[in-house]
Chain A
Amino acid sequence: MTNRKYSFVVAGGLAILALFAALWVVLIIPKMNRTAADSLGMGDYALLTTDRTPFTEESLKGTPSAVFFGFTHCPEVCPTTLGDIAGWQAELADQGKELRTYFVTVDPERDTIDMMQEYVSWVPGVLGVSGPEDEIKKAITSFRVYAQKVPLKNGGYTMDHSAFVMLFDNKGRFVQTISYGEQFDSAMKKIDALL
């Protein structure tokens, strides 16, 4: 290969690379930045809280918030999570703070707003969220949580569902999760970083 040909190839290669780089900066980086995290919780779901206020993607903005999905026929995870949240709120209350928390049902068929109101009433800062089944489905998709109806042999059913608490900053952007059963101190560290 002559020097001249060689430099052609190099120049061509560099041009392609430059194009890639430009594409990267213009298209890919912004896309990456608004991938999973930023779009989490964003969607056109329209639900109702136990305060009878709307719950939409706009609800996540303005103040940091926690969101978790569950249902009242939940034997263990949901009561325990609410118990954990009550513990966090008690700690926050000492600092004059409260974490706005939404408990969104994955079982709108049985969990009416009235039913949920009492269920969450004992935990400060927690609002129940329910609504029509298709709107709940939209929310489940928007938050990318897992929820699946599982029939029981007597004709009833239970729900498999994601068991973590999702934290959002005051712009409504997803920050991180608190796992089911996560240690108190670890959870508080995440919440403190948010508030």
Chain B
Amino acid sequence: MTSLNKSALITGFLMALATSTWAEDVPKPIPFPPTQQGGGMNHMGHENYAHGMHAMETVGDLEISGFYSRETLPNAPVAGGFMTITNNGSTDDRLIAASSDISGRVEIHEMAMENDVMKMRELADGLPIPAGETVELKPGGYHVMFMELNTALIQGDTVSVTLEFEQAGSTTITMPVAARQGGMGHTGHGGHMKHGS
């Protein structure tokens, strides 16, 4: 046997030991298998749900557009709201609160995918809207979240949401409810919608 073979065998043996140790003594749940996607922040949202939602609302220096929510699943206790906020002024602003009749509370959240793990964080200090910048609240990233929903959201409905900004003050927008996201944008009426085709 050549020395190459020897060292390969020994290396293989050690690796096998390492592998088996890892496999048998996992100390706590790990995200397995390892990530198959980029894993960056806010990169995995699908775009373009907001087509047909051209309404715009202005408050102070802020322009709010493309706002919508989504149809909820049966019994779903929560729903998300999405929009684009542009700060045309020269002062930084911040979305500090939101409220709506449809839910007990509305919170401002950020979602991110890290190594195939979905993480959601409440933005305790609100969402900064820097001067001259546009901030998107979209699936897979920032969103307002309706907690303790007291009604199901059905496609075609509207949701009235009051947004409170640190500088610009308050405004109320009316979000249309769009279809659900996912492999089919329909429920119960046949036909297939294939992603990416």
Whether A179 lies near B181 (C-beta < 8 A) is no
Chain B 90-115 interface mask (CB, 8 Å, partner A; 1/0): 00000000000000010101010100
Whether B121 lies near A85 (C-beta < 8 A) is no
Whether B183 lies near A119 (C-beta < 8 A) is no
Q: Does A134 contact B (CB under 8 A)?
A: no
State the interface size on chain B (CB cutoff 8 A): 68
A152 to B179, CA, bound (A): 28
Whether B183 lies near A75 (C-beta < 8 A) is no
Known interface pairs A87-B184, A119-B73. Does A36 touch B23 (Cβ–Cβ under 8 Å)?
A: yes
- Name, among A23, A31, A141, the residue most crowded by chain B CB atoms within 10 Å (CB to CB): A31
A29 to B193, CA, bound (A): 44
**Taking chain B's interface residues, is the majority helix, strand, or loop, or is none over half, making it mixed?**
loop
Whether B180 lies near A83 (C-beta < 8 A) is yes
Whether A180 lies near B116 (C-beta < 8 A) is yes
State the interface size on chain A (CB cutoff 8 A): 64
Q: Does A100 contact B (CB under 8 A)?
A: no
> Which residues on B sit within 8 Å (CB–CB) of A140?
29
> Which residues on B sit within 8 Å (CB–CB) of A85?
182-183
Q: Which residues of B line the A interface, CB within 8 A? A: 1, 6, 9-10, 12-13, 16-17, 19-20, 22-24, 26, 28-33, 36-37, 44, 46, 70, 72-80, 105, 107, 109, 111, 113, 116-122, 124, 139-140, 143, 145, 147, 180-185, 187-188, 190-197
